Chain A
Amino acid sequence: MKKNILSLFWLLYLGAWPLWAAVGCDLNDPDRDVKRLFPESTSYKTIYMSIAQKGGEALLRQVEQRLGDSFQGLFETMDVPYTMYQVFRGPELIGYIHGVNQKGQYGGIQVFLALDLEGNIRGFYFQKLTSRYAKSLRDPGFGRQFVGLNLRDFYNYNIFSGETSGPSRVASIKNPAAEAEQDFRAALRATKKNLILVDEFLLGNKYLKYFIPPE
């Protein structure tokens, strides 16, 4: 019997650790996390949507254009289900939470934003990050740099060059460690994508008017 139990656990051990669907991006513990990001909240609602569902190919092209980059690789596709949280105080809607997956240097990054009803960032944090500089990137001080910014600022940020054109508070966000440049840039791309998706799915594209397509 003992031998059998060992064999059983070998079978389990050879890789069957709990696997969670990496394709979507949910809060690890929504009850706890929503309360942490919105202490004044009383309840929340979870909505799922995907680009494929909402507008298919055409919508994907639009989003890519606004992002200034195309959707990459095996895991960034239009079928990805996006989880959006609507946060309530009593019957009143007070804000949103949304997270996106982004490829980082050594692993997947999950960037979560807490937003007010106007689409301004009121909270930024990494739910997942594999990096040698994880400590400094996860430091609250880093996230605080994002508070108050919105998609208008990010429309003027070019994710390839890392530069801003025109008025944008993104320029004031500093990378805490020079060697973490790849993940730092990834975080900014993730934030821009996050804000675009929120604008598209929740805010009715109110920031679209600030988007100037390149020539």
Chain B
Amino acid sequence: MSSSEYALDAQNISKIYKRGSEDILAINDISLRVRRGEFVSFVGPSGSGKTTLINILGCLDNATSGKLALGGKTIFTEKKKLSEGELTKVRRQVFGYIFQKFYLLPTLTVLENVILPLTFYRKEGTVKDALDILHSLGLENRIHHRPAELSGGEMQRVAIARALVNKPEILLADEPTGNLDSKRTREIGEVIQRLNREEGLTVLLVTHNPDLARIAHRAIELRDGRIHVDSSS
């Protein structure tokens, strides 16, 4: 398969942290490829490096060594690292993010939160798109509320809407249901699944929750900074 068919192509990624005088090898020479439209979940015990890996794949952080290409386009290599500004450009072009802690701006309404990315960058998204997305997520009655007035599940859905407003290629979800009960967890799982199936959104999901991991096509288990099991291979 030519590399342009891969949404994400990572080779020999390693990450070393300095802690005091010690060097910690968090990611140890990981290579993986994700096709467009694939739904990948990352599981593993604490300290296995899954969040570190996903941060690198999601261009939230730089790797110490390795290569990354997104949609066929080389992002960084051994020789060429990216500055914060360049990383930002890649991020907004390619990714949408949701996290365990929702991270909505409390002074803005739901609608304002969702269209906030458009203040900085408009790929193709418009306010109308935002309204459509909110509608499809069942939030049309909440658009003028503030986050403080919403339930956990609603807040995460707002975060998802925000992540989608600029039509990203890859959705990166880091423990999205960590703060939710099992019912809401199921809801969010369904939403993500629907987005993947109907919109063809590539999804990278980090989770502790085995039920959530199961809805993915492919599960990658990490241990000690290496891929232990990859269900696709």
A and B: direct contact (Cβ < 8 Å)? Answer: no
